[in-house]
A and B are shown apart, each in its own frame.
Chain A
């Protein structure tokens, strides 16, 4: 009875710790949050390999955590003394015990090391004879993607077919960055003048957010991108659409009649005005509107911009309003980017937004932006 009372008293003294633990559990319980960038719900084979390894380690860590913290907390309550108590037994060590608690962690580490080494070698090279090669170039603060197989270039939105291994050959145009799409694969840093490799195979169609993970200066926090994984047919439609866009001239000229789109209904005059502005306001100095064989330019390639879910490197939803904000003053949206304030008036902005919105690789299907 006296023992029970003293335990109760001790419990009361440790109430703050209990409250904290309960509060954390309660918080964790009610926080049913959707994390689109999570590492814990892999949708690619690389990410699955890593996730399996992580869960193995996590299981061991959890066991060790409860055993060791449990021993500590038990000792805390069990061996609490008063200043008047007799001096406890003066033990200095126990060779047997010390050997045991050296060996047990060593064994656990071996059990973690074996799957670790297996996974290191599994993830080291591309496990496929016929991967789709994509060249990734990091820039302050956006991503450029090239498809040598299709002679295409795009920016900030990497389209890949579901079920085909993608072999990323990565470098940077300026400083170090790190390519990270948590649901599909781990990180890989990019270095100037060096090619680094990463691979993954998307298992499920979806729009996977990714983000630069190596500090790269002022706008590191806004250097995101998307990986759009599509069924092979949809991917083929996207890439052929992008290639076809290149065939459509970007200048407001007569050659348009030669293209397959000649049969299309008469063009919206606002779009035509936007095209005119795009050519005369200096946009072309930095941005290409053709995805085919385009060289790296100062700014991101804008072919198919109307389809993209986000602008300004993968984080700002691609709505007409946001596009207008960007055109009005890019520095107010993302300070430090190379694009200056162009001094456009509201009518010009409206026309440019209409034109950019019309620039779609997959014109027939409503874009994600339109759905949003």
Chain B
């Protein structure tokens, strides 16, 4: 059956477009983007459900709704899921769908590698979550500090699931980063100079550089930890001369750039939405590009601000403190430029704009609390308290999630060919905005008043009860707002008004082609003469563009579908499951062999033309 499908696709590239098999073998960046989006949204809802369980447990002092063990598993999986299976792949959805469209390309540089990234991500996410089935979900935190993760203190499979899961997800991220980096460098339409690229492409491009430089570090750290656990080495085991602090350095050299991996795509999305709905170009384009690059660069020099309480000494504290404060300057530039973009505009208050403005308002708060714990002595009181939990939720939820939601409302018409419901969108916004602030604002108060993170309960005499109750109530509102979003998505997909090619008077090339775009994106390669290329085209024409025609696509060469990416991903999964099962040699060898065989088959796959 497989060969039939392959042979078929080889001769009629544009024929097969429906059915499960077409999704499994697709190499179309838009379909892969949708796969990323749907999968990541489901994982995101799972991570949210975990958060609601945690919040319910903390809704009253000494509550026994969750056992300490389950609580520890849930907070570990909540963090891991939201970062690696939620926000990162939601960003990847937009990278996939919109980098090629915004630079005027027909696909990414390596379409099959793109499919491979998705399948590896999916399998990694499923493996990580399968640990719940045997009650062995990771339970040492998303940061997995040594030596709690040693076999002596974590004898079960929990930590192994975490190591193997992250390792698999790292492969997906690295492969995708290579792909998008090459795409931006090589596949830009004629005239799309670097300094004419849409800001979303710029921020995504910088994100790929961060991924390429940061992920090898966590890969190495995880390999060392796996060796400690599986082969009895002592990289992080003090009794054997190892050093748990080494783990912290390795983890945060990855972990801090990871924060920017989560936020830079959000910066990009907001920088697209604000100009379109202000009907005015982005303020200070060059400053936006360079501040993004500067943030990314500095992001590699501040990791130890996660470690002020380890006692690094006054010199190291000073250096990392100053470097961290320095990041506030380019970040401030970004915020001021966004406000500058809105200033003097003609604001069209559509749902994407609500979320983009909500992003700025919330991100300012996260940024300011960030400066507070850039100060090491103050951080000695704040670190590992709920003040930090408040801070990074204002950055990653108030920041990333608000921006990703803005992107979802902005680009849904392009991706689906349907408009989302504006009323439901605004209800979603207000419930999310109110729920978010009720959940996370009181955490500032609790943290400063001494509530530590990662505690499964607290006593009434601590005084923590009242605000925890407020937070739990807020989290329910927050969770409910996403049900409305999901309902809006499902309902609009079936019954939403049909979206025109350019519903928002967009500035960038994706709005010049039909909604949803045809498989080859651009029937003719676009030519770019300036920034905001599509605005310029409309200006030159003296008004709006006519609805772009659907063309037959005759004579357009597209890459063939292939099942080798998914088979290769299966080989990798098998290899790592073998490692997980205390190095089960036959599984490891079989997985390795399958991986090698499918890579070879992939390499020698006929192109069909």
Interface residues of A (CB under 8 A from B): 16-17, 20, 24, 27-28, 31, 33-40, 47, 49-51, 53-54, 57-58, 61, 64-65, 68-69, 71-73, 75-76, 79-83, 85-94, 97-98, 101-102, 105-106, 109, 112-113, 116-117, 119-121, 123-124, 140, 174-176, 178, 180, 182, 185-189, 191-193, 196-198, 209, 211-222, 315, 335-336
Contact = CB atoms under 8 A, between A and B. Distances in A.
B449 A35 contact: yes
A120 B376 contact: yes
25 contacts: A17-B430, A35-B464, A36-B461, A37-B451, A39-B382, A57-B372, A68-B336, A69-B361, A72-B342, A75-B347, A79-B342, A79-B345, A81-B279, A85-B346, A93-B286, A109-B325, A178-B384, A186-B377, A187-B381, A189-B311, A192-B244, A209-B450, A212-B452, A213-B384, A221-B454
Contacts of A54: 372, 375, 378, 381
Interface in B282-306: 283-287
Interface of B: 67-69, 71-72, 140-141, 145, 147-148, 153-154, 238-239, 244-245, 278-281, 283-287, 309-311, 313-314, 317-318, 321-322, 325-326, 328-329, 332-333, 335-337, 339-340, 342-349, 357, 360-361, 364-365, 368-369, 371-372, 375-385, 430, 433-434, 437-438, 441, 445, 448-459, 461-464, 466-467, 470
A87 B377 contact: no
A159 to B, nearest CB: 20
A36 B462 contact: yes
B380 A50 contact: yes
B148 A215 contact: yes
A116 B381 CA distance: 14
Contact of B140 (A92, A211, A215, A222): A215
B463 A35 contact: yes
A197 B464 CA distance: 29
Contact of B278 (A79, A116, A119, A218): A79
B11 to A, nearest CB: 48
Nearest to A316: B459
Contact of B280 (A47, A82, A91): A91
Contacts of A218: 68-69, 72
In the A-B complex, the 7 residue pairs with the smallest Cβ-Cβ separation, listed nearest first, are A186-B380, A81-B346, A37-B450, A221-B455, A35-B449, A93-B284, A192-B238
Contacts of B140: 215, 217
Given A31-B466, A220-B455, A40 B244 contact: no
A360 B455 CA distance: 31
B238 A37 contact: no
Contact of A175 (B147, B309, B335): B147
A36 B463 contact: yes
Contacts of A336: 68-69
Contacts of A27: 470
A295 to B, nearest CB: 19
Contacts of B349: 80
A91 B344 CA distance: 9
Contacts of A124: 313-314, 317
